Amino acid sequence: MIKRKNILKIAIDSPAAAGAGTLAKAISNHYNLIYLDTGKIYRLISYLKLKFPKKFNETFLKKKIKYLKIKDLEKRDLITDDISAEAAKIAKNKSIRKIVHSFQLNLAYNPPKKYNGSCLDGRDITYKIIPDADFKFFITANLKTRALRRYKELKVLNKAISYKEVLKSIKKRDKSDYNRRISPLKKTKDSILLNTTKLSKRQCFLKIKKIIDREKNF
């Protein structure tokens, strides 16, 4: 694998709807890093599985991932509850994870030249994808806050779902993400914990920025 030297690598892990994506995007913009929401890849795979159940196999998937561009991940509506639930199931599949990992590694260690580095968020980024990241963060928030944030996000998109249903589905996903055997969600010892429950987006961003600037003498 090609590894670009002297790049800034940021690894973020978090449970569902903790605000990691919003934060990672702001940090990536600020430091000119390529940003990858790795959950979107599992979501895209779920979408493909639900849409093309007959075609869906390893060869089909390898081809899709081989030609995958980050902007493809923005195209489709991947936030639905069905896709979220399927993504958590798919994420337990060892061979699917293997296919996805090489895509993630390449982006993390060999971002396009116009970027100063990379920022990835997901469930196993801090210990499996970028174990030597310059900064590792574990972003979390309490369950009810996360469910409310996701509920509001879905409402804006006109999805017919109640707060209770969102809460139930996030609870189920947490259970699966934290307890699965393959690449479970966990906070590594060397990750900095940020609980976003009582913080605004701006406050979260400033906290992370302060940590990075202090260390990097920006």
Stretch that binds ligand C5P, among 123-131, 133-141, 153-161, 201-209 (CB under 6 A): 123-131
Stretch that binds ligand C5P, among 56-64, 65-73, 119-127, 138-146 (CB under 6 A): 119-127
Is 123 a binder of ligand C5P (CB under 6 A)? yes
Rounded Cα distance, 159 and 121, in Å: 25
Q: Of 31, 35, 42, 151, which lies in the binding site for ligand C5P, with binding defined by CB under 6 A?
A: 42
Stretch that binds ligand C5P, among 4-12, 58-66, 83-91, 107-115 (CB under 6 A): 83-91
Phi and psi at residue 48, to the nearest 5°: -65, -40
Is 39 a binder of ligand C5P (CB under 6 A)? yes
Closest to ligand C5P by CB, 190 vs 215, is: 190
Question: Strand ranges (DSSP E) for the chain?
Answer: 8-13, 33-37, 117-122, 135-140, 192-195
Q: Of 43, 136, 146, 149, which lies in the binding site for ligand C5P, with binding defined by CB under 6 A?
A: 43
How many other CB atoms are there within 10 angstroms of residue 211's CB atom?
14
Structure tokens at 130: 């970028």
Is 177 a binder of ligand C5P (CB under 6 A)? yes
Please say whether the dihedral angle defined by the alpha carbons of residues 112, 117, 120 and 124, taken in this order, is positive or negative. positive
With beta carbons less than 8 A apart as the criterion, state whether 204 and 194 touch.
yes
Q: Name the site residues for ligand C5P (rule: CB under 6 A).
A: 16, 38-39, 42-43, 84, 87-88, 91, 122-125, 173, 177, 183
